[in-house]
Structure 1
Amino acid sequence: MRINAAGCLDRCEHGPTVVIYPAGRWYRVPDRDAVDRILTEDLQGGRPVAELMLPGEVAPAK
Structure 2
Amino acid sequence: MTPYFEHHVFFCLNRRDPGDRPSCANCGSEKMQEYAKKRVKQAGLAGPGKVRINKAGCLDRCEEGPVIVIYPQGTWYTYVDETDIDEIVESHLAGGKIVERLLIDKPDTKPAG
Give the TM-score band, short-chain normalised: 0.7 to 0.9
CA distance in 2, matches of 1:2, 1:14: 23
AA aligned to 2:65 is G
Q: Distance in 2 between matches of 1:47 and 1:33?
A: 16
1:1-62 equivalences in 2 (<5 Å):
1-54=51-104, 56-58=105-107
RMSD: 1.0
Q: Answer 1 or 2: which has greater strand percent.
A: 2
Q: Which has the larger radius of gyration?
A: 2
On the 8 A contact 1:26/1:57 being kept in 2, the answer is no
Equivalent residue of 1:2, what SS?
strand
> Unpaired segments of 5 or more residues in structure 1?
none
TM-score by length of 2: 0.48
TM-score (norm 1): 0.83
Q: Is there any run of 5+ residues in structure 2 with no aligned partner, and where?
A: 1-50, 108-113
Aligned length: 57
